[in-house]
Structure 1
Amino acid sequence: MTTFNSITRRGFATLMAAGTATAILGMHVANAATPDEIKKNGTLRVGVLVDYPPFGGTDANQQPAGYDADVAALMAKALGVKLELVPVTGPNRIPYLLTNKIDVLIATFGITAERAKQVLFSDPYSALTIYVLAPKSLTIKGAEDLKSVSIGVARASTQDTAITAIAPEGTQIKRFDDDATALQALISGQVQALGASNTILAQLSKDYASMEIEPKITLKAQANGMAFRKSDTALQEYANTFIAEIVKNGELSKINERWFGVPLDQLPPMPKI
């Protein structure tokens, strides 16, 4: 698996601050990008995160790498064009799209009603999934089995709320200050199971493979979609067809297994926005 160099959100945001400001000040209505125009130009420009591995990070050569970059590469291949990966941050993702610096965002972008006021979304191509994780040897088939194990969670997190809602009375839920501390509790044996996202699962699969950690219960899935300018309906339609194809032929599951260590779960449905 590709290794990532450490890049903090704050540090990268500082580097990109000038670009963000310029993008906002220079915002204008861009011409629609269609599949035919992209083929004519010969390049697909895709905005990706580089501070959120394994969805979006960098490789040993400081080039964008991860789940989203792999999806972008498949899309460029399907279009028969070159791929240009453009690093973006959480705050400047939409400005980069709206000012025509990129053709599409493939940047772990949760599909929400608020964001849909500014952009078009594709059907989901990935999900930020929250699980109950535990070693393969530990039997947890449903919520009723949680009573017999100790579970670590980050205090007041999404997984804390979700586990609390389904756990039988008497379940040992041990709350820690953050995900990193809860993760260490699992590694050190302070808890038998962990409430965490697929990003934590990927870290465990890569760095602690001998523990054989696997998802036991899926608690919640946030649907992530590609994002386009409001005028880019043809490109949105193309993307939906493309996503359906790579789900059907198994290519998307291979990407998920590469970066997260497990086959792709069924993607969540398109949120009602």
Structure 2
Amino acid sequence: MFNKMKLAAALVMGLAAGLLTTSTAMAETLEAVKDRGKVVVGIQGDNPPYGFLNSQGQNDGYDADVAKLFGEYLGVSVEFFIVTNPNRIAALQTGKVDILFSTLSMTAERAKALQYSKPYAEQPFTVLGAKSEAMTGIDDLKGKVVGVPKGSLMDIQLTKLATESEIRRFDDDSATVQALLSGQVDAVGGSMFYAARLEQQAPGKFENKFSTSSLYIGAGTRSGEKEWNAAVNSFVDEVAANGKLAALYEKWFSMELPDLNKSVEGVPFTVN
């Protein structure tokens, strides 16, 4: 699905994500960021092919490439700041980052805490487990231990739906994948791209069992900041129209760019 060498590097380097230094961003206005000449982007460090650290310890992936294009659009350099599912919104709200390109799936609940941009990607979610296990739906998770990244969409979904399962929460995507590999859990809920990571480390043993949902991904800015929201929406329109977004989709997912022009209930793409 994506370059195996990049994946292997991501699995190792992603473990170091939490060791990066903190940013000095302080809820800067768009004009202040342009004057400073640098935008601080919150991004995941352990979730290939979206955001991960490559073998050189550099941020890589679809989100990283989109963020670099956004920096070019603003005419500034990009500084990456590693975030996780539990802390990314707080990092935005407290000014540690200027914007999130962090595989931020769109939900009405999250929209109460930040401002989403127009979608720039779509993320399919699945439950993954051993090929030897029969799992075709939520009912098959009864009595099983299911791992999820803490604070992720799958944490929310499976907590609500898999009421007869034990939901075990892990700090990030890498820890969730490792939990399945090590036998701590019977299944995990996460991105469909977990499958490639599992195949890399345990060939022929695990697979996507069934889909749960597919949600748009948007950039995140602070609530009420019209200038930031307008800038990122204009950027998304531009890279969608000029083919750059489609090229990145093919590069990282070996897929065509999906239809990103649908509305999401409870999620406004513009500041009211």
Q: TM-score range by the shorter chain?
A: 0.5 to 0.7
2:14 and 2:46 in contact (8 A); partners too = yes
For 1:199 and 1:269, the matched residues in 2 are separated by 23
User: In the alignment, does 2:256 pair up with 1:243?
Assistant: no
Tell me the number of residue pairs that the alignment of Structure 1 and Structure 2 aligns: 212
Task: For structure 1, list consecutive stretches of 5 or more residues without a partner in the other structure.
Answer: 24-29, 132-150, 159-177, 181-195, 208-217
- The residue correspondences of 1:95-114 to structure 2 (distance < 5 A) are 95-114=90-109
User: Would you say 1:222 and 2:215 are equivalent positions?
Assistant: yes
Residue 263 (structure 2) aligned to one of 239, 250, 270: 270
Output the TM-score relative to the length of structure 1: 0.62
1:268 is displaced (CA, Å) by 5.9
Task: Give SS of 1:70's match.
Answer: helix
When residues 219 and 116 of structure 1 are mapped into structure 2, their CA distance, relative to the original with a 3 A threshold, is closer
Q: 1: CA distance between counterparts of 2:81 and 2:91? A: 9
Q: Residue in 2 aligned with 1:79?
A: 74
Unaligned runs of 5+ in 2: 127-133, 147-153, 155-175, 179-189, 201-210, 267-272
Give the match's secondary structure for 1:54: coil
Identify which of 11, 33, 47 aligns with 2:29. 33
1:162-173 aligned at under 5 Å gives the runs none
Distance change (3 Å), C-alpha of 1:250 and 1:10? same
Local SS of the residue matching 1:69: helix
Quote the residue 1:254 is aligned against: 247
Is 1:50 the counterpart of 2:55? The answer is: no
Q: Distance in 2 between matches of 1:96 and 1:179?
A: 24
Say which SS state the counterpart of residue 60 (structure 1) adopts. Answer: coil
* Residue identity in the other structure for 1:234: E
Name the counterpart of 2:158: none
Deviations 1:180-225 (A, max 9, x none): 9xxxxxxxxxxxxxxx955257669x97xxxxxxxxxx98421111
Larger Rg over CA atoms: 1
The answer on 1:5 being equivalent to 2:10 is yes
Seen in structure 2, the aligned counterparts of structure 1 residues 152 and 227 have a Cα distance that, compared at 3 Å, is: same
Q: Distance in 2 between matches of 1:242 and 1:100?
A: 22
Cα displacement string for residues 218-272 of structure 1 (whole angstroms, at most 9, x for unaligned residues): 9842111111111322111111111111111111111111111122122262311
Residues 122 and 236 of structure 1 are in contact (CA less than 8 Å); yes or no, is this contact kept in structure 2?
yes
Aligned to 2:129: none
Between the aligned residues of both structures, percent identity stands at 30
1:125 equivalenced with 2:120 (yes/no): yes
**Alpha carbons of structure 1 residues 115 and 67: separation in structure 2 relative to 1, 3 Å:** same
Corresponding residue for residue 162 of structure 1: none
Indicate the RMSD between aligned Cα atoms, in angstroms: 4.2
The Cα of 1:91 is off from its aligned counterpart by 1.0
| Distance in 2 (alpha carbons) for counterparts of 1:257 and 1:58 | 20
Amino acid at match of 1:85: F
Q: 1:129 deviation in Å?
A: 2.3
1:153 to partner: Cα distance: 5.3
Contact 1:222 1:268 in 2 (8 A): no
Question: CA 1:203/1:117 → structure 2, altered by over 3 Å: closer, same or farther?
Answer: same
Equivalent position of 1:234 in the other structure: 227
| Offset, 1:118 | 1.2
Q: Name the TM-score, length of structure 2 as normaliser.
A: 0.62
Question: Which residue number corresponds to residue 61 of structure 2?
Answer: 66
